[in-house]
Structure 1
Amino acid sequence: MDDLTWTLKQLCRRNRDGSFATQADRQRSLTLMARQLRDAGFNQMQARSLKGKHVDALLSQWQAQGLSTGTLKNRLSHLRWWAEKIGKGGLLPADNRQLGIPERQYSTNQSKAQTLDERLDTIRDPYVKMSLRLQAAFGLRRQECIKFQPTWADRGDHIALKGSWTKGGKPRSVPITTPQQRAVLDVARTLARAGSLIPAHKSYIQQQHVYDGQCKAAGLSNMHGLRHQYAQARYEALTGWQAPAAGGPTARDLTPAQRQIDAQARQIISHELGHERPQIVTLYVGR
């Protein structure tokens, strides 16, 4: 292991910001940067050696690869973290546009929603099947629906999600608004009892592999689409009309009163999905 990779690993171990998943993503990203800098000819680096020329070299590689705006923003956030932890936060401007990175476009009316169909019956692992049903019922992320502890989470009129289950380590709640949600939660409680949807003899990573393998074998892909379906259903329940991505009216078709309802619905859905910015909801429900 070269000096840069080693010292970046040590930097990550000393600064455990965010959830376990966030920490793992950050370390993978920084390890990739170390390799890319080495490939660019910077062979005598350590973590504290980071300079503007290294930032420029990484940006040039990433842009040449044609990476999406979202991927570029994620990598830049990890690069900023690195710079800040070594006392060089000023190496990168706060605004990505100064680096030639455009704003991410959230406006899309193409639906990515998915529903569970008869393929769910081909899932053999009862914990994976239950995770998928919870994912669909409450708009959960994969990590959340696997780590989910039904008995602990069930608060009667809502479910509570621990920070250790969620992206970014931020706890949140999701309301129980339909009989179908209550029914799914009751079945989950019976299956998991006082535990989670990770079998007692498995770790989270092992169960994640089971989840991925079972979904692939069943022909189920991109199950993040279940969150899209949840968001669109919630939008319709909150507004009284279908989401733009589901064929409903677009923003320009709404009256001033409807636009106010639309804005309130997006704020609620943003919280339920675990996003801080309501504009990201556009990816799920359209504009």
Structure 2
Amino acid sequence: MSKATQHRRTTSAVASLVHQPRRRQDWNGLSARETLARYPIGKTPPLKVLEVLIALFNKQHTAKQKEVSFKTRQERADFFRRFFRDLKDKAGFKTRPDPRNLGERHIRASVTVWHKEGLAPATIQTYLSFLRGLANWIGKPGLVRAPHYYGLQPDAYQRHEAAQRDKSWSAQGIDIDGLIEEICRFDPYVGAAMRLIRVMGLRRKEAIMFRPHRCVVLFEATGLPLHKRKAERYARIKAGSKGGRERFVALDTPERLAAIDHAQAVVTTSDGHMGHPSHSLEQALRRFNYVLEKFGVTHKALGVTAHGLRHEVLIEQFEAMTGHAAPVRGGERLPPEIDAPARQDVAELAGHARKRASNAYLGGVIARQHKQNNPSANEE
């Protein structure tokens, strides 16, 4: 490992510790309440108490029994630190409150500041969600009200999950396999990763992290119920985003088997991943982006991104199962007994637990009706 690479990794690790403080050894065996009792209200600086709360709770999801991604932890920690500084610097409070004394007046004053600063409603909604989590940490679950209480309209902050246009490569008239073949000749690792995306609908990070020798397993090793068996071998896909989850993709088509064989030929070591052996994950992601940009895989050049190839696969999956065009391609409304299982299959292939997540790729009834009623409406 070069000194420069070692320095970057050390710097990254230090930065991570700043955002994600480790639980102290002298807290071992203590409950969260017992730990916080060591920092009396009024005698402990508020920002120090905040760091204790972050160390105790920031790994936790606000609503589910699971841990959140490092990205979410960092964003929440940064927000909380800024929020308590701004209570004094911007919101007009003479002193910063102990986080355990956070009250509704602090929330309302901060929302007022955010409105004056022109923050987007979706951003304010995210901040309220973070504060809702903090309220749970301090035992005040009802402290943060619903967004409309703070003057936010649902249409302004709710994200539209259903795809409004076809983002697939074929929709832009791209010779998909021909372009991937060109990429393979230029960079075998990026090309092999693209072939995996092409047949399994992987995310960019999932494709690069994939280990083609280690992550191909027999059906018996998947833990899937017998009635879901589709093939003898499966690809184990490690989650590549906070909303994703580990999943198994059936190697049930010649195209998927060929992509796996190609990847194994490129990555000759048993533990190798789809990035160049000399690259860290961060470097492999940058290389992937560079190669795709070189071949015009951008909104500006060809009108698509690597993620559009994921859309391609998931739309194809739906159409193969139903025999009909997806809604985002103008398909008609299907009977629930045909539509529902296909959408569930697409959601699972994409790495989501909820069937409605498929709307982001396939479109939905609302999106299709909007398109029919407003034929001249601008696309995203």
TM-score greater than 0.5 by the shorter chain: yes
Q: Does 1:23 align with 2:70?
A: yes
| Match of residue 132 from structure 2 | 80
- The size of the alignment, in residue pairs, is 277
Q: Does 1:231 align with 2:293?
A: no
Question: Matched residue of 2:142: which SS?
Answer: helix
Q: Residues 56 and 140 (structure 1 numbering): CA distance in 2 closer, same or farther, change over 3 Å?
A: farther
Greater mean alpha carbon deviation, residues 276-285 or residues 219-228: 219-228
Match of 2:142 among 86, 90, 93: 90
Question: Matched residue of 1:159: which SS?
Answer: strand
Give the C-alpha shift of residue 197 in structure 1: 1.8
Greater mean alpha carbon deviation, residues 266-275 or residues 100-109: 100-109
C-alpha contact (below 8 Å) 1:40/1:57 kept by paired residues: no
Q: Does 1:40 align with 2:90?
A: yes
Give the C-alpha shift of residue 25 in structure 1: 2.8
Give the structure with the larger helix fraction. Answer: 1
Give the C-alpha shift of residue 48 in structure 1: 4.3
Q: Residues 44 and 198 (structure 1 numbering): CA distance in 2 closer, same or farther, change over 3 Å?
A: farther
| Match of residue 158 from structure 1 | 234
The structure with more radius of gyration: 2
Question: Matched residue of 1:174: which SS?
Answer: strand
Q: Does 1:260 align with 2:331?
A: no
C-alpha contact (below 8 Å) 1:12/1:23 kept by paired residues: no
| Match of residue 253 from structure 2 | 178
Structure 2-normalised TM-score?
0.61
Q: Residues 6 and 182 (structure 1 numbering): CA distance in 2 closer, same or farther, change over 3 Å?
A: farther
Give the C-alpha shift of residue 13 in structure 1: 4.3
Distance in 2 (alpha carbons) for counterparts of 1:26 and 1:176? 35
| Match of residue 188 from structure 2 | 126
Greater mean alpha carbon deviation, residues 208-217 or residues 233-242: 208-217
Question: Matched residue of 1:82: which SS?
Answer: helix
Write the mapping of 1:199-214 to structure 2, written as runs, cut at 5 A: 199-214=276-291
C-alpha contact (below 8 Å) 2:46/2:97 kept by paired residues: yes
Letter in 1 for 2:359: T
| Match of residue 191 from structure 1 | 266
Distance in 1 (alpha carbons) for counterparts of 2:46 and 2:188? 44
C-alpha contact (below 8 Å) 2:244/2:351 kept by paired residues: no
Q: Does 1:244 align with 2:319?
A: no
Give the C-alpha shift of residue 58 in structure 1: 4.8
Q: Deviations along 1:45-90, whole A, 9 cap, x unmatched?
A: 6654543344335544556645364x55554443333332333332
